[in-house]
Amino acid sequence: MIEEDWWTQFIDFIREFKLPPPVEAKSTEAAHIIRRSKGFVLVGDNLYKRFASGILMKCVTLEEGKDILKEIHEGVCGNHAASRTLVGKAYRSGFFWPTAVSDAEDLVRQCPGCQFFGKKIHVLAHNWITIPPSWSFACWSLDMIGPLIVAPGGFNHVLVAVDKFTKWIECKPIVKISSDRVVDFISDIIHRFGFPTLSSQIWVLTSHRSLSGISATILA
Ligand SMILES: [Zn+2]
């Protein structure tokens, strides 16, 4: 049974090499505490768990951990994600507590919203209709690559646009990620290659598979 103040034994051992009173120095439980304490770091009075990537995760109480999971699952930006996703998001946000996985499973199992709507099929009533690019410079795929190794001039990101029909590539290195730079980049393309017909102009924002930033497609 993991208790609310689960980190006390690790703090005591890291700070003073002290084991909890009933634990014998050469017992299996002592070896367990000593081995596990190597994965923790004490910064001031706060305990942090060292993640595999080297990032330190703040240790929270079991109660705080449940609140964090609840907020991620059904809070303001909650999307009723599955338990593994919940734990991943909590860890990536920099929080750690030992019962995160079982807490997330319990939360999803007991969530009324998930019980009522989990099995509902969330797909569109009809198939996607694809719009094939059938003429040049009418449909652009936009993306941003980076962060890259800083080049002379401080450039560390690249805005890229590829014409879907001809595969013509336009790119522009940038120093700072800002909407102004993107607007300049797009307006330069529009001035050189023409603007899509207003009546059929559609802007679609899509997330990209691996590159950071926003990928946008202009369809005309
Ligand atoms: Zn739910």
CATH number of 164's domain: 3.30.420.10
Q: Residue 146's closest CA among 168, 176, 170?
A: 176
> Do 148 and 79 belong to one domain?
no
- The rounded distance, in Å, linking the Cα atoms of 21 and 25 is 10
CATH number at residue 92: 1.10.340.70
Q: Are residue 103 and residue 159 in the same domain, yes or no? A: no
**Token digits of residue 128:** 């996607």
Residue 170 inside a domain? The answer is: yes
Q: Are residues 54 and 99 in the same domain?
A: yes
For ligand 1, the distance from its centroid to the CA atom of residue 68, given in whole angstroms, is: 14
Model confidence, pTM: 0.54
Asked whether residue 13 falls in the same domain as residue 93, the answer is: yes
- 85 and 160 co-located in one domain: no
Does the residue 111 lie in any domain?
A: yes
Q: Provide the domain count of the chain.
A: 2
User: Which pLDDT does position 149 carry in this prediction?
Assistant: 92
Asked whether residue 159 falls in the same domain as residue 106, the answer is no
- pLDDT for residue 217: 44
**216 pLDDT exceeds 60?**
no
Q: 37 pLDDT exceeds 80?
A: yes
pLDDT value at 28 more than 80: yes
Does 47 share its domain with 90? yes
Pair 27, 76 in one domain: yes
In the three-class reduction of DSSP (H, G, I as helix; E, B as strand; rest coil), residue 68 is classed as helix
Which residue, of 86, 117, 148, is where some domain finishes?
A: 117
- Residues 180-202, mean pLDDT to the nearest whole number: 75
Check if the beta carbon of residue 143 is closer than 8 Å to that of residue 208.
yes
pLDDT band at 31 (very low <50, low <70, confident <90, very high): confident
87-132 residue pLDDT tens: 999 998 999 999 999 999 999 999 998 888 877 777 778 887 776 7
Q: Is the pLDDT of residue 172 over 80?
A: yes
Query: In terms of DSSP bridges, do strands 56-59 and 46-50 run parallel, antiparallel, or are they unpaired?
Result: antiparallel
Please choose, from the candidates 167, 173, 218, the residue with its C-alpha nearest in 3D space to the C-alpha of residue 196: 218
Q: Kindly give the distance from the C-alpha atom of residue 81 to the centroid of ligand 1, in angstroms, as a whole number.
A: 7
Residue 12 and residue 110 share a domain = yes
User: Does 18 share its domain with 92?
Assistant: yes
How many angstroms separate the alpha carbon of residue 86 from the centre of ligand 1?
11
- If one counts every other C-beta atom within 10 angstroms of the C-beta of residue 79, the result is 9
Whether 70 and 147 map to the same domain: the answer is no
2-16, 108-122, 138-152, 206-220 — which is least confidently predicted?
206-220
DSSP per residue, 177-203:
--HHHHHHHHHHHHHHH-PPPGGG-EE
CA of 4 to the centre of ligand 1 (A): 25
User: Same domain for 69 and 165?
Assistant: no
Q: Output the CA 63–ligand 1 centroid distance in Å.
A: 18
- Name the amino acid, one letter, at 63: E
CA of 99 to the centre of ligand 1 (A): 19
pLDDT at 121: 77
Q: CB within 8 A of 51, min separation 6: which ones? A: 57, 91, 96
**Which residues constitute the domain of residue 85?**
8-117
**Given pLDDT bands bounded at 50, 70 and 90, which one contains residue 3?**
low
Tell me the CA–centroid distance for residue 115 and ligand 1, in Å. 7
In this predicted structure, the answer to whether residue 170 has a pLDDT above a threshold of 90 is yes
Q: Is the pLDDT of residue 66 over 90?
A: yes
